[in-house]
Structure 1
Amino acid sequence: MSADLLWPRYDSPADLAAIEAVPLAERGLPESTYALLTRAATLWPDRTAISVLPEAARWQKPESRTFAELLADVHRYANLLRRLGIRRADAVALIAPNCAELITATLAAQLAGVAAPVNGALSRSHIAELLHRSGARVLITAGPELAPEVWYAARHLADGLDAILVLRPTGATGAAVPLPVMDGVRVGYLSELAVAEGAVAFAGEPPQSTDLAAFFHTGGTTGAPKLAAHTHGNEVADAWMLAANSLFDTDSVIFGALPLFHVNALVVTLLAPLFKGQQVVWAGPLGYRDPSLFAEFWRIVEHYRISSMSAVPTVYATLALAPVDADISSLRFAMVGASPLPAAVRANFESHTGVPLLEGYGLTEATCASARSFPDAPRPGSVGQRLPYQRMKVVHGVLMISGPTVFPGYLAGRDVDGYVLDGMGKLVDGWLDTGDLADVDDEGFVHLSGRAKDLIIRGGHNIDPALIEDALLAHPQVTAAGAVGRPDIHAGEVPVVYVTVVPGASVTEEDLLAWAAARVPERAAVPKAVTVLDALPVTAVGKPFKLGLRAHATRRAVTDALAAIRGAEVDTRIEDGSVVATVTIPAACDQTAVTAALGAYAVRWNLRLTEEVS
């Protein structure tokens, strides 16, 4: 293929039209994620592909693989899966924190069948439901050394499985912990079982572009877990759109610390670097949740000459407080997404480090990324320009996307022909309803104004409000419940819930908070507060009006943030589908302090001054 066709100039918003003048089909993209890896191993066999840190404290002792070694390991793992009966239409579930073996296993699962990564922090009932929906017969999971709590849960999910393949920590030495014998289930360490498998080639037929590559669970508003299907073509196209960024070259080193059950980790920090043979440095199993990582972070950047990274706003808020004790001149820019970026977080991080923060936008149903920003062409208020070949339009205020990254649907079941996929109302004639309120300007820049959907986004993690509402509605004295996100300085927003109770109820807000903590199936979804109202707000036609609850939660958050400002008053209103706070302060107040306090939140706000009345 022509290098010019694969790598057009793409470092400015003005490049988009020239890129799209060439049809995507003529650019010669690899057929599958496996073909993408094979290409990298052919072009750069001896170059380091991944360096995985065992933990933040031991960042100088990574376990590394060249592209040729990574491909050989993927062949071994995939051939083992094939020997265990996995074929193209069979799902392989993966439940583990990041480690060297999980990276290989994820690629191998997409080669032999369909990868189905699962967040191990979900409740056991939700994990069991996701395994059931995927039809997974093989589970790859963390062992007792890597994540004891995940291993304990996995042992109780063996029903319906043919095999449980166990992962050890990165860089593990010495004898492994003996594993139990389970009736009818093959149990063993993945690396040990795969050691005798062929490393030169895959014994089965390689996947095609239209074949399914993965199922990613994603939040919804129905209370039930959804599995969004990705084809190999979806993932390769999205990875190429990111890799085509002319600011990256083959010497760029990428830092990855998001969990591999998240599409950002797969597409941005695993697949996209394969296109140009870039090294990826992976954090330890806790990723950005490891407190010691932030104390070591700038030295890691200097040692590995990190060029770019991807994280959520809360990570950059923490890094803005970590003293820069190393040469970080290699770090050209940092990518941020998954939740709104507060202005203060951007300002603090960029002034502290000199590194620009580039916002992006995407969602699982469009594979991962759909918009990117440019360091030399900032657009305040925008989350970026649409990526090449992704079409966008706004219908009744809601952003719609079409193109090669739009998923084929949610997994709805299986029949004699294989998986049954259903857009479940999100797909209309090839257009994806994102549920996000937005405007798109003539140059393709996206300006978000709110969310039509009800998801709560805590530190980039999607929380289904139905999880919280169902738990509260199970209480005999609760008659209605509405969960929303309250702005939060650390997590972007945290869940809170509003309820109504039966007349004469004796239950208190504290009682209901304890009730929810014991019953909400996901730890991150446990509400921070329960508020009893006389009635929940509804629309003119009687439907629940979540924006009214968000306005109430926002007013409380802003009021708390300005508690030290004498005479501050806060009101909220709903404008263009989003909540706007109006803060009124006496003219003699310190406006700088007010601006600094509010800038730490992803909240639209206005400031009014009044003469103080004695």
Structure 2
Amino acid sequence: MDQQPLIALDPSWPAVSLAEAQAMLTAPGTKFEMETIEIRGVPTRVWKHAPPSLAWLAQAARAHGQNLFTIYEDERVTFEANYRAVATLATRLQAMGVVKGDRVALAMRNLPEWPVIFFAAASIGAIVVPLNAWWAAGELEYGINDSGARVLFVDDERYQRFVEAAPALPAVERIIVARASTPLEGRASRLEDLIGTPHDYATLDELPFPQVAIDTDDDATIFYTSGTTGNPKGALGTHRNLMTNIMSSGFGAARSLIRRGEAIPDPSPRTSLTVIPLFHVTACSAGLMGAVASGSTAIFMRKWDVVRAMEIIERERVHMTGGVPTIAWQLLEHPERAKYDLSSLEVIAYGGAPSAPELVRRIHEEFGALPGNGWGMTETMATVTSHSSEDYLNRPTSAGPPVAVADLKIMDDDGVTELPVGTVGELWARGPMVVKGYWNKPEATAETFVDGWVRTGDLARVDEEGFVYIVDRAKDMIIRGGENIYSSEVENVLYAHPAVTDCALIGLPHRILGEEPAAVVHLAPGMQASEAELQAWVRERLAVFKTPVAIRFVHETLPRNANGKILKKDLKMLFEDRASVAA
């Protein structure tokens, strides 16, 4: 065990061991029964009763009828209304000539239109490409062109900021704009002309749902991630990947109840405040899929505002929220928190950024809610491990044990030797949640995906009970409030400045955000540049969250080891003056 529990746990806990809980939950005839099938030539344990496809899920969800599916400001869309919008848009897409395997890109805020577009495209066999709406113009252009998207859906903000500038998008035949504020011309048209506004969805004609032959292991999505070098990589996901997450999330919750000695109740709809973007697998795969399956309500906000969030939690009696530790910290520490009734909160869960054990304790003590965490990545379509309730309070620095269909192992640098329990090495993961590979990048795919395993690039250890602890990231990445910042990407932009000859990006600990990016720069002799100038330089070329919060200048080139790699750990002392602020 890594440390003492954060609170005094009931002496009767756990009622059963992890192995016993898994055996009970996955026994023959149970909801979480497993079977072994061959996926891409590799025998793989899968959930036997997982839904077969996104198209099946979109149609089955109609049974939730008048339950609210999405809430956005004054727009309240029921499952029946959403079904009609999905069927209508899927039919319209087919009329445009979109066929199985075509890519349909999507770049917009969390809006009721987002899941309609996602399910409509996926239900006719198209591959949905959710793009990071915070990306700068060049990043968006790359993702659209790399995926070869034929149709591009954007909201008005993305249209005004990016598309109207007429970037070169040779494969795009149609650009469909939601909530357009200006007249559209050429290949651009209004989404409302196809399906109306969210207020109209309930009154749409009932069209036959398009029937397309879709196999569970057919391509479904391309979510873009990034490596430490080069352009972003598109992780090619399947219908099985997303359907697996529905079952994995349910399994994690059921395991907590079994460990507590409680019976597993029938599923009931819950209300969740979704504050992380749907273009992340955490929100789309780990969050949205489960909401659709269970008939739960997802509430969207135009942008995060803690007071507005507390108002929504009180008014809508929200059961779950989170996403990244930042959200939990701001709810806990806002001076007006006592003015709002937040007693409906049952779970505050998050991933995507390091979290302090203190946060776990305070969620439980001050909200009376159970904390939740887990580990996954874009390449695993989110959930691989699940950590919640007493197990999380007992092991607050762990990311939890793997779900029943997942396997983990810790590997040596040689990529061949498996390391013993408790040893730190590279974390490898296997299971039906692992994506096919990287879109149009066979070499990168071969390097990362090996015989069904994904080499995660995370350095970790696993204890004797199977709990995983992420100790560092081999891939040189910073996570700021749940957003990935790849050092080389920012460094390359800094190197492009005429005054910069040497630089490095490092992550500074931040109590709320997890980490923040900071840069160390060496200027060319006789050249000058200020901190503000270089920050503006980065901000103009990359998403704002990637901009260094501080820049330190050094007179000599940066320290390196014998292999020429910059010794980044030696640079953090330059930012000691920020330590008290971050803490």
For the residue of structure 1 that corresponds to 2:319, the secondary structure is strand
- Gapped runs of 5+ residues in structure 1? 1-9, 55-60, 169-175, 414-419, 562-599, 602-614
Q: Which residue of structure 1 aligns with residue 71 of structure 2?
A: 52
Is 1:457 the equivalent of 2:471?
Answer: no
- Relative distance call for 1:349 and 1:203 in structure 2 (3 A) is closer
Report whether the alignment pairs 1:270 with 2:281: no
Q: Deviations over 1:538-574 (max 9, x none)?
A: 334333333444x43674543x44xxxxxxxxxxxxx
Distance 1:411 1:257 in 2: 28
How do 1:270-419 residues align onto structure 2 when only pairs under 5 Å count? Answer: 270-277=288-295, 279-286=296-303, 289=304, 291=305, 294-322=306-334, 323-377=337-391, 378=393, 379-396=395-412, 397-412=425-440
Distance 1:225 1:51 in 2: 31
Residue of structure 2 in register with 1:241 after alignment: 248
> Letter of the aligned partner of 2:397 in structure 1?
G
List per-residue Cα deviations over 1:492-520 (Å, max 9, x = no partner): 21111123334x33425537635634554
The equivalent position to 1:179 in structure 2, one of 178, 183, 186, is 183
The residue identity in structure 2 corresponding to 1:389 is V
Q: Is 1:259 paired with 2:277?
A: yes
* Aligned AA (2:214): P
Query: Any conservation in 2 of the 1:96–1:150 contact (CA below 8 Å)?
Result: no
Matched residue SS, 1:361 = strand
Is this contact kept in 2: 1:257–1:284, CA < 8 A?
yes
2:509 is equivalent to residue 490 of structure 1: no
Measured after TM superposition, the shift of residue 11 of structure 1 is 10
Asked if the contact 1:75/1:198 (under 8 Å) is kept, the reply is: no
Structure 1 match to 2:8: none
Partner of 1:173: none
- Structure 2 residue identity aligned to 1:375: S
1:64-91 deviation digits (Å, cap 9, x = unpaired): 212x332221111111111112111111
**Residue 178 of structure 2 is aligned to residue 167 of structure 1:** yes
**2:489: which partner in 1?**
467
Report the counterpart of residue 608 of structure 1 in structure 2.
none
Residues 577-610 of structure 1, C-alpha deviations (whole Å, 9 max, x = no match): xxxxxxxxxxxxxxxxxxxxxxx75xxxxxxxxx
Offset, 1:455: 1.0
- After superposition, where does 1:87-166 map in structure 2 within 5 Å? 87-112=99-124, 113-143=126-156, 147=157, 150-155=159-164, 156-157=166-167, 159-160=169-170, 161-166=172-177
1:389, distance to aligned residue in structure 2 (A): 0.6
Superposed displacement of residue 314, structure 1: 0.9
Deviations 1:518-551 (A, max 9, x none): 55422111112222332323334333333444x4
**Residue 357 of structure 1, CA deviation:** 1.8
> How many residue pairs align between the two structures?
516
Q: Which moved more, 1:476-485 or 1:363-372?
A: 476-485
CA pair 193-547 structure 1, distance change in 2 beyond 3 A: same
* Root-mean-square deviation over aligned CA pairs: 2.7
Superposed CA deviations along residues 442-463 of structure 1, whole A, max 9, x for unmatched, are 3221111111111111110001
For residue 543 of structure 2, the aligned residue among 515, 522, 535 is 522
Post-superposition Cα deviations, 1:386-444, rounded to whole Å, max 9, x if no partner, equal 1121100111211110010011111126xxxxxx7951511122111111111112322
Q: TM-score, normalised by structure 2?
A: 0.82
Amino acid at match of 1:456: I
Question: Within 1, Cα distance between the matches of 2:567 and 2:211?
Answer: 53
State how far apart, in whole Å, the 1-side matches of 2:497 and 2:117 are.
43
Deviation at 1:483, TM superposition (A): 0.9
CA 1:394–1:101: 2 relative to 1, 3 Å = same
SS in 1 for 2:216: coil
Aligned sequence identity (%)? 27
Distance 2:532 2:284 in 1: 41
* Distance 1:429-1:446 versus aligned 2 partners, 3 A rule: same
Partner of 1:607: none
Structure 1 contact 481–498 (Cα < 8 Å) conserved: yes
Structure 1 CA distance for aligned equivalents of residues 302 and 379 of structure 2: 26
Measure how far apart 1:471 and its partner are: 1.6
Structure 1 position 385, deviation (Å): 1.6
In the aligned structure 2, how far is the partner of 1:313 from the partner of 1:12?
28
C-alpha distance in 2, partners of 1:330/1:197?
A: 34
Q: 1:202 matched to which residue of 2?
A: 209
1:575 matched residue in structure 2: none
**More moved, 87-96 vs 342-351:** 342-351
Structure 1 range deviating more: 156-165 or 266-275: 156-165
Contact 2:145 2:169 in 1 (8 A): no
Q: Distance in 1 between matches of 2:435 and 2:574?
A: 34
Moved more, 333-342 or 371-380: 371-380
Distance 1:158 1:202, change over 3 A: farther
Q: Report the Cα distance in structure 2 between the residues aligned to 1:350 and 1:469, rounded to whole angstroms.
A: 40
Partner-residue secondary structure (3-state), 2:384 = strand
Cα contact 2:348–2:370 (8 A) shared by 1: yes
Partners of 2:383 and 2:338 in 1: how far apart?
30
Q: Deviations over 1:1-35 (max 9, x none)?
A: xxxxxxxxx99844224445542456222111121
